[in-house]
Amino acid sequence: MSLPATITVEESAGITFLNVENAFASSRISLYGAHVLSFTPKTDNQNRLWLSPHAYLNGERPIRGGIPICWPWFSDDHGEEKGTLPSHGFLRTQVWQIQLTEETEAGTRIVLSPSYSRGEGFEYDCTVSYDILVGKQLSVTLRTQNSGVVPFTFNGALHTYFAVPDITQTSIMGIEGDYKDKLESWAVKPSPTHYIIEGETDRIHQHPSPDVTIADNNIPLTRVTSMGNDSMVVWNPWQGAASIADMDAFGFKHMLCVETAITNGITLAPGQDHLMTQIVAGL
Ligand code: TA6
């Protein structure tokens, strides 16, 4: 396949990476997991995505950082005993294929498809694709289409790790409604009005929160626009990062996951499809 001049291919440790460099931004994408690893707009040359320095970039484990794709379930919500099926599903640990690349006025577009979308824990016929646009903004859309003859229900997330200069100076605007707190047996609590991160945080906000801003020292840094989701997940492991193999003890200081998520199930009848989009913009 011939690629636009804005995309170069790099092979390393068994993974194929697509490096995008255009007039608007640069971005690195791993075909393992269809994982966007970086997005650096030209306006300020600040990478908006965080990638762990200890991330496995050899296909042995899901990649810690960037935008992991969670599907067809979120976390361990697969209906089986915890640990029997992979956390966050099976798209983030497979090699994806390039379906299309094109240069458009808005930027460089890449469409990827997974090797398989029917797997243990999800025995349905469907077609999945991932549409990435690297432009002034980074736009990613996960499309799920029911290509079978029975309805199915799925969950998922665009589990983005945002880069923040200092988590203790970071605030989030635009998240509303109640959240379920994973750290307190899913107790339901109201979202903070002044949203800062002061310790381990693992929350499923029960509101789609379509327009979220991440600020550093009260100065807006990154805008996160979401569509097709029913919830927003906020995660930072804080000092628990020390016990995560592919993070270092201080990694939590420079990342914040704000995840465009489906956690209450989307049901698709045969022939129906669903789009979930996240748009990341530097401010
Ligand atoms: O999205 C939050 C979460 O589900 C947390 O509970 C935490 O475990 C995180 O994802 C990371 O999951 P992973 O399977 O990538 O280690």
Tens of pLDDT along 136-170?
999 999 999 999 999 999 999 999 999 999 999 99
Render pLDDT for 243-260 as a digit per residue (tens, 0 to 9).
Answer: 999 999 999 999 999 999
**246 within ligand 1 shell (Cβ under 6 A):** no
Instruction: Give me the chain's average pLDDT, please.
Output: 97
Q: Give, as one character, the DSSP assignment of residue 120.
A: T
Long-range contacts of 73-77 (CB under 8 A, 24+ apart): 73/121, 73/122, 73/154, 73/155, 73/156, 74/155, 74/156, 74/157, 74/233, 74/261, 74/262, 74/263, 77/155, 77/263
What is the C-alpha separation between 39 and 27, in angstroms, rounded?
Answer: 5
* Domain membership of residue 13 as a residue range: 7-282
139 forms beta bridges with: 133, 279
Does residue 17 contact residue 57 with C-beta atoms inside 8 Å?
no
202 within ligand 1 shell (Cβ under 6 A):
yes
Element (H, E) at 41: strand 35-41
Residue nearest to atom 13 of ligand 1 (CA): 87
Query: Would residue 35 count as lying in a domain?
Result: yes
β-strand partners of 100: 111
DSSP code of 90?
Answer: S
pLDDT of residue 266: 98
SS3 169: helix
CA distances from 31 to 8, 93, 113, 129, 140 (A): 13, 10, 10, 13, 14
Those residues of the chain that have pLDDT short of 70 are none
Domain membership of residue 2 (yes or no) is: no
Which CATH number is 47's domain given?
2.70.98.10
126 C-alpha to ligand 1 centroid (Å): 25
What per-residue confidence (pLDDT) applies to 117? 97
- C-alpha of residue 271 to centroid of ligand 1, in Å: 31
pTM of the model as a whole: 0.98
* Number of domains composing the chain: 1
Examine residue 85 and state whether it is found in any structural domain, yes or no: yes
| Residue with CA at minimum distance from ligand 1 atom 6 | 202
- pLDDT value of position 241: 87
In a domain, 77, yes or no: yes
Using alpha carbons only, give the angle 64, 37, 128 rounded to the nearest 5 degrees: 90
Tokens read off for 167: 């988590």
Q: Is residue 152 domain-resident?
A: yes
Supply the pLDDT for residue 1: 78
What does the pLDDT read at residue 250?
92
* Residue 1 within any structural domain of the chain: no
Chain centroid to Cα 203, Å, comes to: 15
- Ligand 1: distance of its center to the CA of 111 in Å? 26
- Residue 39 counted as domain residue: yes
Residue 204 belongs to a domain: yes
